[in-house]
Amino acid sequence: MNNLDKPVIEVKDLSIGYGSRVVMQNLNFSVKNGEIFIILGGSGCGKSTLLKHLIGLYPPFKGDILIHGESIVHAENGRKREIMRSFGVTYQGGALFGSLTVGENISLLLEEYTEMSKDEINKTVTEKLRLVNLDGFQDYMPAELSGGMKKRAGLARAMALNPRLLFFDEPSAGLDPISSAELDRLILNLRKEFGTTMVIVTHELDSIFSIADRVIMLDKEKKGITAEGDPRDLLNNSNNKWVKDFLSRLSLKRD
């Protein structure tokens, strides 16, 4: 039980950026097991940057990131790769491997990391593609898919090894409202069935209230977190005008 209460991700005193430019500093937050955690903020404020540091792609200037209690910042290369393998990531543009078909993109992971037979692999690929509504697209090349389809195929790939932790960079940007709502349902389903923890960067205000357990809002000027908590609480009780505006634009649109 103790293990379940322990946060999946702990961020301690994190400062990140590029070259000598600081994008965010002194971030502290944690993501609990089974939580749907959303990172919000204006365009260009550093959401993708934060996500890329969380998944260990770039070394931070300062601070530490613990995934299941283990530092991904200080892990040596081989161990770091193992930690990275334990979670799934979907990228803003899908990031499918262009030289492989959609099916091969997904089966690559299964071939490398599992002992599955060819049949089992094919079955899993079909199943994952069905989850994201792409049945029958195994043999397409990524270049033959639309932007939204690439994203969904990327999600199928991220789920290939049934990770307990998923990161999404703007999963619903570029999807039509119906696919976007379906994606939200898929995210909620994953959590219900597998208890998957999810960290999501999104602009899509619509999704926030329907799926988020907790949000953090990043501020470009402050280079840090301006608000943290349940989105409904923030909307009703926050005394920060910017936070209220950001969240209420959705409510206005909805009413």
Partner 1 sequence: MSRQRAPQLIEHVGEASIRIGRDCVNMLSFVGELSAGIMEAVKHPRKIRWKETLYYMDMCGSDALPIVMLICFLMGLILGFQAAVQMHKFGTDIFVADLVGLSIIKELGPLMVAMIATGRAGSAFAAEIGTMKVSEEIDAMETMGFVPCRFLIIPKVIAMLLAIPILTIFGDIAGIFGGFVVGSLKLEIPAIAYYNRTVVALTSANFLFGLIKSFVFAFLIAGVGCMRGFEARTDAQGVGRAATSAVVSAIFLVVVADALLTILFSMVGQ
Ligand X SMILES: Nc1ncnc2c1ncn2[C@@H]1O[C@H](COP(=O)(O)OP(=O)(O)OP(=O)(O)O)[C@@H](O)[C@H]1O
Binding of ligand X by 48 (CB under 6 A): yes
Contact pattern from residue 149 through residue 188 relative to partner 1, giving x for each residue in contact according to CB under 8 A and a dash for the rest:
-----x----------------------------------
H or E element in which residue 29 lies: strand 21-31
Contact pattern from residue 22 through residue 61 relative to partner 1, giving x for each residue in contact according to CB under 8 A and a dash for the rest:
------------------------------x--xxx----
Tracing tokens 């609990």 back to the chain, one arrives at 32
CB 148 within 8 A of CB 160: no
Position among 10, 35, 40, 47 found at the interface with ligand X (CB under 6 A): 47
CB of 60 to partner 1, least distance (A): 16
Tokens found for residue 176: 């039509």
Return the amino acid letter for 11: V
CB of 49 to ligand X, least distance (A): 3
Nearer to partner 1 by C-beta: 91 or 246? 91
How far is Cα 82 from Cα 74, in angstroms, rounded to an integer? 13
From the list 70, 25, 67, 66, the residue with the least C-alpha distance to 49 is: 25
Count of residues in the chain: 255
**Residue numbers of the site for ligand X (CB under 6 A)?**
18, 23, 41, 43-49
